[in-house]
Chains A and B, each alone.
Chain A
Amino acid sequence: MKILVPVKRVIDYNVKPRVKADGSGVDLANVKMSMNPFDEIAVEEAIRIKEAGKAEEIIAVSIGPAKAQETLRTALAMGADRAILVETDDEVEPLAVAKILKAVAEEEQPGLIMLGKQAIDDDSNQTGQMLAALMGRPQGTFANTVEVEGDSVTVKREVDGGLQTVKLTLPAIVTTDLRLNEPRYASLPNIMKAKKKPLDTKSPAHFGVDTAPRLTTTNVSEPPVRQAGEKVEDVDALVAKIKALGIA
């Protein structure tokens, strides 16, 4: 079985995003970029499934600018076998990303496609579900545990009330939640090796996908800023404040 892992290049999670003064978006010039954290978890899980002898090949794919090569090299250094960059400088919305991924999947025929549950830039939380719909495949979203067995995969999902377990027929789509695993760091020798692993570059047009956006962003603004309040001296002062709030 092959596993396809879509990885997105996003603002590093440690960076506080700055909104541009003209309301056109978030300033990404000279900002540290990294692999979307949920996608690291997806790569890690794919590697663990391969290490358990349940998959033969891991293919990382990214849709984005030439620089997304770095993200793919990170996936290769972690342990993916090869990578595909679908290169475009346009912003591609989840629906179009899903259409491109479907086309890639039709060429590669993976048994499992493992995505992040959410990209931390657009916070859409859509792509995996959309891909599953377009391909007519089952979906195990917000995965906490993934167990591949024979021709099915059992996914324990993080849901609002706790955990839910579903069983999906392979081929299937899984999206990762935070507690699925702790991604490994790439070792230096593996980073060197990753430079020699195959990385193909294609274009959205190659897959015949129209990436024209359906949503227009007319403005991006800062959220209302919360002012820091006051510090109280001791517990007695805090007790008084809480009582004044009328909750005790």
Chain B
Amino acid sequence: MKTLVWVEHDNKNLADATLAAVTAAGKLGEVHLLVAGANCRAVADEAAKIAGVGKVHLADDAAYENALAENVAPLIAELMADHDAFVAPATTTGKNVAPRVAALLDVMQISDILSVEGEKSFTRPIYAGNAIATVESSDAKLVITVRGTAFEKAATEGGSGAVEEVSGPTDAGLSSFVSEEIAESDRPELTSAKVIVSGGRALKDSETFEQVITPLADKLGAGIGASRAAVDAGYVPNDYQVGQTGKIVAPEVYIAIGISGAIQHLAGMKDSKTIIAINKDEDAPIFQVADIGLVADLFKAVPELTEKL
């Protein structure tokens, strides 16, 4: 089987999320990559070094600069004439583009796979991860998105893929990019952080969140996450949300502070290696999944913890 993997990038650097998708694709067969963007040759060169990669297709065109689905999906659909499976990381870009490709190819997408069970058989979470379905496709071609936490990351060195320029349909004229508000931060990204400190509704407001959570995260070199309630209330931006409909994370250590543990939140973090919970309610559902729990008022316990570490 020949696969085509979507390379996630910002036209300068390859994003980590690509690497798990490469591993998943490698279980299906030959791995080809697609770097679609504008002035993004450096990304293609970087991608060619990923271990196990065959060809890298480089589609360099202003129309692909912001990965607008309307523009890149037709390109991918064309390239799929020579490939058997399109594989994208389940990032917001992957989730935006892949279904559009699937519909153009008249196939059902298999979303957010956890494992490859056979040539056309996969497991995927349903019902917020409360059930795991094994599904088998009867379509001629596969379109798959990959849950990043479920696959090892492919090594970024060791490959020697050939970069080949391709072109495809240009601007579909349906949509245009206006602007972007991307937070710059020195903190580890949530999906690749080894330690995550996450805060919930109990943190009161954005100042309190900052005062209580940030020093602990700094001490541990951790990424910062949040529950939906904390995001909705404006304590932190939307991209902090962990859960069924936010980010899926699986760090070595996840510290949930003032988070009750609703199923939608658990869906995003219950594969963390060690879960630590601090909550004043000893019956909070978070304690049912926590390896280490502390029943305490977080406003006392967290500053004390930060100080003693």
Q: Which residues of A contact B (CB under 8 A)?
A: 11, 13, 16-17, 19, 26, 38, 93-95, 98, 117-118, 120-134, 136-142, 144, 154, 157-169, 177-179, 213-223, 226, 228-232, 234-239, 241-243, 245, 247-248
Contact = CB atoms under 8 A, between A and B. Distances in A.
Contact of A144 (B66, B102, B238): B238
Q: Is the interface of A mostly helix, strand, loop or mixed?
A: mixed
B293 A223 contact: no
Interface in B93-141: 93, 95-104, 106-112, 121, 125-139
B158 to A, nearest CB: 27
B118 to A, nearest CB: 10
A231 B127 contact: no
A231 B98 CA distance: 43
B288 A160 contact: no
Contact of A238 (B73, B219, B220, B276): B276
B177 A166 contact: yes
Contacts of B138: 214-216
A159 to B, nearest CB: 4
Nearest to B231: A179
Interface string B175-192: 111111111000000010
B contact patch SS: mixed
Contacts of B175: 138-140, 166-169
A123 B137 contact: no
Contact of A247 (B108, B253, B296): B253
A217 B131 CA distance: 12
A19 B296 CA distance: 34
A232 B99 contact: no
Interface of B: 66, 68-70, 73, 91-93, 95-104, 106-112, 121, 125-139, 173-183, 191, 194-195, 219-220, 228, 231-232, 237-239, 244-245, 247, 252-253, 263-264, 270, 274-276, 278, 282, 287-296, 301, 304-305, 308-309
Contact of B294 (A121, A217, A231): A231
A129 B106 contact: no
B10 to A, nearest CB: 9
A216 B103 contact: no
B100 A95 contact: no
A131 B111 CA distance: 16
Nearest to A168: B175
B230 to A, nearest CB: 12
25 contacts: A16-B263, A26-B130, A94-B109, A120-B244, A129-B100, A133-B73, A133-B103, A159-B92, A160-B239, A162-B238, A163-B237, A164-B181, A166-B176, A166-B177, A213-B108, A216-B138, A219-B134, A220-B131, A222-B131, A223-B129, A231-B287, A241-B292, A245-B252, A245-B253, A247-B220
B181 A162 contact: yes
B136 A126 contact: no
A157 B73 CA distance: 18
B127 A121 contact: yes
Nearest to A218: B134
Nearest to A237: B294
Given A223-B130, A247-B253, A117 B178 contact: no
Contact of A138 (B70, B110, B135): B70
A220 to B, nearest CB: 5
A63 to B, nearest CB: 15
A128 B294 CA distance: 43
Contacts of B137: 214-215
A162 B195 contact: no
Given A226-B270, A229-B291, A235 B305 contact: yes
Nearest to A219: B134
A231 B265 CA distance: 21
Contacts of B139: 214
B107 A95 contact: yes
Given A122-B126, A179-B238, A219-B134, A232 B293 contact: yes
A161 B301 CA distance: 31
Contacts of B127: 11, 17, 26, 120-121, 123
B110 A215 contact: yes
A118 B245 contact: yes
Given A120-B244, A163-B238, A125 B288 contact: no
A217 B107 CA distance: 16
A124 B220 contact: no
A166 B68 contact: yes
Given A95-B106, A245-B253, 7 more contacts: A132-B70, A157-B92, A158-B239, A160-B93, A179-B238, A229-B291, A232-B292
Given A139-B70, A141-B95, A215-B135, A162 B182 contact: yes
A79 to B, nearest CB: 22
Contacts of B237: 162-163
A55 B46 CA distance: 48
A127 B121 CA distance: 21
